[in-house]
Amino acid sequence: MLLSKYFIPVLKEAPREAEIVSHKLMLRAGMIKQQSAGIYSWLPLGLKVMRKVEQIVREEQDRAGAVEILMPTIQSADLWRESGRYEDYGKEMLRITDRHERDMLFGPTNEEMVTDIFRTHVRSYKDLPLNLYHIQWKFRDEVRPRFGVMRGREFLMKDAYSFDLDEASSRAAYYRMFVSYLRTFDRLGVKAIPMRADTGPIGGDLSHEFLILADTGESEVFCHADYMKLDVPGAGVDYDDDGLIQSIVEDWTKSYARTDEMHEEALWSNVDAAQQMNARGIEVGHIFHFGQKYSEPMGAKVTGPDGKDVPVYMGSYGIGPSRVVAALIEAGHDDNGIIWPASVAPFDVGLINLRSGDERTDGACASLYDQLTNAGFDVLYDDTDSRAGGKFALADLIGLPWQLIIGPRGLDNGEVELKNRSTGERESLNNEAAINKLMTWQSETKARFGG
């Protein structure tokens, strides 16, 4: 991509209302634009990152056996009357009346709708287990939308719903999603710690939140230092092996990890003081097991092997890709801007022409651009006539993993400069060595994050 043909509406200064670093940087880097309180447009750079986050989430849902569908954003209030949640949900629900005076709503979540799909099409235990998910916009009329896309009113959510014949198989389904979340966040290049959670208005008895540690997180967290060194299962993990999956969950839940809402001093004091981590965190995922809470009132039944009909056992599993984008910035930035994890960076390399319009640097850049693009790199080429300082500042702000800098002085010596955004290291190399170094990084990145 040529920067001159792209659209990154950079702001010199972040608007005052932006309180936290991710909100400031997303505005400054031209990733989002607010349209109303808590409602944002996603501009090219922001959208590119969010799509990459979505894709990793999707791949790990698929790997764990979930099947993608797409449900609408607008739902009928009647479905919610069946579960009893239409009245209960309160002011967070955006209620709409259509031209026929029918009560509709903009979905804050989809338990009712997916239960309706299930009861229409599934009758027998032989069709179970089943897990259906979608990645769709949600609306919750938050009292205090703030921190940009971190707490929006309209936000993107991946929500999966599992259906099983009995409690035991339903728990196994919950464990599969738990493990897929470990893998998802690992591939997103962050540490997310599962913490025992309250089930809230959704109800049920088994629930975990996944939190990314960051100073600006809304939740206070208390967790054992063990979580910093636990292994995440590899791409080959066998989701059909219930015993294995359960043992991974046990490893990841045996040490203390709670947010302030669920914190218990008495249990915490049993943790060796040297191992106590008291930090802040951002909730990026939340999984629930709630059994027959919706299937019972909505009549979603399956016939078991004994010929008896039972309301199906369910769980629901959410991740907010739009919030994840902001959380990744909270976890990865410095004074100059964003530092993206390799797996979701909007481009791999920023190619910087220090003297656009100069025949020699233009030629060298064009040739490097072609070579890198052909080798499978996503390159953003700064071919504009901005000054060098401005180009460097922009490259640091948008946080691509590498900057490849081409100037007349380097070319005199047959060299280009390669800068690593996260370490700040700069190296002068000839073209071939620079490309080789990037290729090595590319294959390491694929091995580490590719799945």
* 157 near ligand ATP, judged by CB under 6 A: yes
The single residue among 23, 24, 151, 419 that binds ligand ATP, judged by CB under 6 A, is 151
Site string for ligand ATP, 322-361 (x = CB under 6 A): xx--------------------------------------
How many chain residues bind ligand ATP (CB under 6 A)? 15
Cα–Cα distance for residue pair 364/352, rounded to 1 Å: 11
Decide: residue 304, CB within 10 A, 0-12 exposed, 13-18 middle, 19+ buried: middle
Q: Which stretch binds ligand ATP (CB under 6 A): 284-292, 302-310, 396-404, 417-425?
A: 284-292
Choose from ligand ATP, Mg ion, none: what does 142 bind? Cβ within 5-8 Å by kind: ligand ATP
Query: Per rule CB under 6 A, is residue 141 in the interface with ligand ATP?
Result: no
Between helix 44-63 and helix 167-187 the angle, nearest 10°, is 140
Of the candidates 8, 356, 418, 377, the one whose C-alpha atom is nearest the C-alpha of residue 366 is 356
Give yes or no for residue 284 binding ligand ATP (CB under 6 A): yes
- Assess 152 for contact with ligand ATP (CB under 6 A): yes
Which x/- pattern over 192-221 shows residues binding Mg ion (rule: CB under 5 A)?
Answer: ------------------------------
Locus of tokens 């996603």: 42
Considering only residues 155, 227, 402, 441, which one is a binding residue for ligand ATP as defined by CB under 6 A? 155
Q: Nearest approach, Cβ of 23 to ligand ATP (angstroms)?
A: 12
Q: Answer with the entry of ligand ATP, Mg ion, none that 155 interacts with (C-beta below 5 to 8 A by kind).
A: ligand ATP
Tokens of residue 300, six digits: 């979603």
322 binds, among ligand ATP, Mg ion, none (CB under 5 to 8 A by kind): ligand ATP
Cβ neighbourhood burial of 128 (10 Å; 0-12, 13-18, 19+): buried
What is each CA distance from 60 to 17, 65, 138, 234, 443, in whole angstroms? 36, 9, 21, 11, 20
* Contact flag: residue 85 with ligand ATP (CB under 6 A): no
CA contacts within 13 A on the Cβ side of 96 = 14
- Residue with smaller CB distance to ligand ATP, 212 or 416: 212
Which stretch of DSSP H or E encloses residue 293?
none
Among 28, 140, 208, 419, binds ligand ATP (CB under 6 A): 140
User: Residues 10, 25: contact at Cβ < 8 Å?
Assistant: no
Q: Which of residues 269-288 bind Mg ion (CB under 5 A)?
A: 286
Question: 55 or 420: whose CB is closer to ligand ATP?
Answer: 55
The contacts of residue 283 (CB under 8 Å, 6+ apart) are 209, 210, 211, 218, 219, 259
Return the structure tokens found at 235. Answer: 């791409």
Residue 223 interaction partner, one of ligand ATP, Mg ion, none, beta carbon < 5-8 Å per kind: none
Given the rule CB under 5 A, which residues bind Mg ion? 286
